[in-house]
Structure 1
Amino acid sequence: MAQLVMVGACYVDTILSVDHYPGEDEKLRASSLNRRRGGNCPNSLEVLQQLVHHSQTDLSLSLISVFPKCESDSTTFIRQSLGSSINCDGCIYRQDHTEPASSYVIHSQKTNSRTIVNYNDLSEMTFEEFESCIGRVQLPANCWFHFEGRIPDTTLECILFLREHHPSVMISVELEKPGRPGLEKLAAEADLVFYAKGWAQASGYRSMEECLQSQSQATPKSKYLCCTWGENGAALLTKFNNSCISVPALKISEFEIVDTIGAGDTFIAGIFFGLLCHNDDWNWTRKLRFANELAGRKVIQNGFQGLGSVMTHHME
């Protein structure tokens, strides 16, 4: 059985929907409040869990993240939200904290924009903690590690450790936050790199194809590069033949966009589903189309519930 281990932060999101984004010192009543677990890797795993269940395929899913105190209400909420199929044995607990990393999201119904304020008092994972986590598990031959592009210095140590001690492991990284020093070094060590539109635009690229062609020279170990571009869809570059394919974003005329939070995480889940569950019977165009439609289905609903059942007809 293949195994996917995702390494990244876990947040609890509090989402307030308002008529318009408030001005400074303005008092405004929210129309709804929603509290849910967030974080790039946990979001991707939640969606993947559904896809694996509905397709009846075999894929082991694990998370390495920093949680508050093991017995805290926040940790209980997080673990229940992830579901029983996601292995959290490698997670790290801060026993002197009860509050999780948190995001407070103001969703403007007028512009459909989202303004996010993060708060995280949990110290980040150290390399020594990651090494200890890996020492407690038996990694199968077919194992993939995916890293959220954060704490680049520590993440680079983790990647180099895997390269030395577990050379058969495949590695991917996500470059999302613009201006974060050290992300390029992570990309240079990965087999697969995901570039977000915000990172690409901040780096001066005018299209996803331009980003991938340019980054191809800076990622000598990569096999695939992938870039998402919102309403313009997504593109993937295969390094061995320098072939670039792109697909348009899903557009469903009778539905409106209601929730873009986690769309990129959903896309990554779709790529991994194709890569690890249908690597032999789906070509890359089909994998990319599946991931793109999955992300498109996500933005026309709140949260991630039910995405696996919606996509069942595309898994055959």
Structure 2
Amino acid sequence: MTLVAIGACYIDTILTVPHYPGEDEKLRSSSLCRRRGGNCPNTLEVLGQLLQHGPRTEGSMLNLISVLPSLSSVSSNKIQEGLGILVDIKNCIYREQFSEPASSYIIMSQASGSRTIVNYNELPEMTRDEFASAIEPFHAASEVPWFHFEGRAPGVTIECIHHIRSRFPEALVSVEVEKPGRLGLQKLAEAGDVVIYSKGWAQSNGYTTAEECLRKQMPQTRRASLLCCTWGDEGAAALEPKTGNFAHIPAHTSEQIVDTIGAGDTFIAGLLYGLIYRSKDWDFPRRLEFANHLAGLKVTQEGFKDLHKVFRLGPY
């Protein structure tokens, strides 16, 4: 199965500090880390590990569509290296007049465990026509791809989904509904076959639990076959609108939390792995359990290295 993930790619600079600094305060960082980030690139990196080390991976293809600087730039080369051998970026949209990718500056507070993120991106956003050109090579493939959207720039994203529906009528589309206050995410949810809501978005819309979010979203997402909502240390919930089946899985937090950056992206990697590559031998509670276990494992370590060890820790 071919998976095409569409979203922004960042270079993250992460500063770990004892507490979040006040205005005009001078503070010494205890550590500094630079690594590639972005929702979809993170998800694909983890999926690449799962496909490389897990069962039932024959013929799997992972593709990123993102706006990147020049194809020959040092940044684009490093992004490809960091994604692993199973992730293809040849269909990305390259801005040849730019040499620097989008950047995120993240302050991690040891006192609260919170993270504060400041983004900078001078690359012009993807257009619907550019997206249509980028995915055209997949039309000649023998398999219909699965398309996954970050939920960025909802106005353009909904146009891209409409294009998929006309050009790839049998394709499945999953969408992330994550950022609180971002206009247009509800329309993306209504257009998706699989919808993943964040706790932040749910709370900003008045929902007090993951289950409440899913049950109240169900009448508005008539196309969806699966709705999922993550709720931090309270785990995650999933609902199949067409059957009414519901499951809630507690969070895996048995070890000390080290790094929460990318935990949601890791959860989505686990969920997509279960939906796309283990559809015949896992029911949806098992897929949810695997995604939760994988995300729980991620927060106990820095970065995404060797998360495929989850296969040794559970009945997967």
TM-score bracket, shorter-length normalisation: over 0.9
User: Residue 105 in 1 paired to residue 121 in 2?
Assistant: no
User: Residue 9 in 1 paired to residue 8 in 2?
Assistant: yes
1:81-230 to structure 2, matched below 5 A, reads 81-137=82-138, 138-230=140-232
**Structure 2 CA distance for aligned equivalents of residues 146 and 235 of structure 1:** 19
Secondary structure of the 2:8 match is coil
Q: Which residue does the alignment assign to 2:246?
A: 244
User: Residue 32 in 1 paired to residue 34 in 2?
Assistant: no
Secondary structure of the 1:136 match is helix
Counterpart residue identity of residue 126, structure 2: M
Deviation at 1:143?
Answer: 2.0
* 1:119-156 deviation digits (Å, cap 9, x = unpaired): 11111110010011112333443421000111111111
Counterpart residue identity of residue 156, structure 1: I
**Structure 1 CA distance for aligned equivalents of residues 229 and 189 of structure 2:** 13
Deviation at 1:83?
Answer: 1.4
CA contact (8 A) 2:4 2:63 kept: yes
Report the TM-score when normalising by structure 2: 0.96
Q: Which residue does the alignment assign to 1:80?
A: 81
User: Residue 261 in 1 paired to residue 261 in 2?
Assistant: yes
User: Residue 307 in 1 paired to residue 307 in 2?
Assistant: yes
Q: Which residue does the alignment assign to 2:40?
A: 41
**Structure 1 CA distance for aligned equivalents of residues 70 and 225 of structure 2:** 39
Secondary structure of the 1:4 match is strand
Counterpart residue identity of residue 13, structure 2: T
**Structure 1 CA distance for aligned equivalents of residues 143 and 218 of structure 2:** 27
Deviation at 1:99?
Answer: 1.3
**Structure 2 CA distance for aligned equivalents of residues 159 and 16 of structure 1:** 36
**Structure 2 CA distance for aligned equivalents of residues 315 and 266 of structure 1:** 19
Counterpart residue identity of residue 50, structure 1: Q
**Structure 2 CA distance for aligned equivalents of residues 282 and 299 of structure 1:** 24
* 1:192-233 deviation digits (Å, cap 9, x = unpaired): 000000000000000000000011011111111000000111
* 1:284-306 deviation digits (Å, cap 9, x = unpaired): 11110000010000001000001
Secondary structure of the 2:220 match is coil
Secondary structure of the 1:251 match is coil
Moved more, 290-299 or 19-28: 19-28
**Structure 2 CA distance for aligned equivalents of residues 139 and 187 of structure 1:** 27
**Structure 1 CA distance for aligned equivalents of residues 85 and 177 of structure 2:** 29
Deviation at 1:89?
Answer: 1.4
Deviation at 1:256?
Answer: 1.0
Counterpart residue identity of residue 37, structure 2: G
**Structure 2 CA distance for aligned equivalents of residues 280 and 156 of structure 1:** 30
Deviation at 1:313?
Answer: 4.6
**Structure 1 CA distance for aligned equivalents of residues 102 and 141 of structure 2:** 28
**Structure 1 CA distance for aligned equivalents of residues 310 and 189 of structure 2:** 33
Q: Which residue does the alignment assign to 2:66?
A: 65
Deviation at 1:79?
Answer: 1.2
Secondary structure of the 2:130 match is helix
Structure 1 residues not aligned, in runs of 5+: none
Moved more, 298-307 or 177-186: 177-186
Q: Which residue does the alignment assign to 2:19?
A: 20
* 1:97-129 deviation digits (Å, cap 9, x = unpaired): 111111001111121111111111111110010
**Structure 2 CA distance for aligned equivalents of residues 241 and 72 of structure 1:** 49
Counterpart residue identity of residue 225, structure 2: K
Identify which of 228, 231, 234 aligns with 1:232.
234
**Structure 1 CA distance for aligned equivalents of residues 23 and 2 of structure 2:** 48
Aligned CA distance change for structure 1 residues 164 and 288 (closer, same or farther; 3 Å): same
Secondary structure of the 1:311 match is helix
Superposed CA RMSD: 1.2
**Structure 1 CA distance for aligned equivalents of residues 142 and 13 of structure 2:** 37
Counterpart residue identity of residue 299, structure 1: V
Aligned CA distance change for structure 1 residues 139 and 7 (closer, same or farther; 3 Å): farther
Deviation at 1:312?
Answer: 3.7
Report the TM-score when normalising by structure 1: 0.96
Secondary structure of the 1:217 match is helix
**Structure 1 CA distance for aligned equivalents of residues 132 and 48 of structure 2:** 26
**Structure 2 CA distance for aligned equivalents of residues 315 and 48 of structure 1:** 18
CA contact (8 A) 1:55 1:315 kept: no
CA contact (8 A) 1:141 1:169 kept: no
Deviation at 1:235?
Answer: 0.5
Deviation at 1:22?
Answer: 1.2
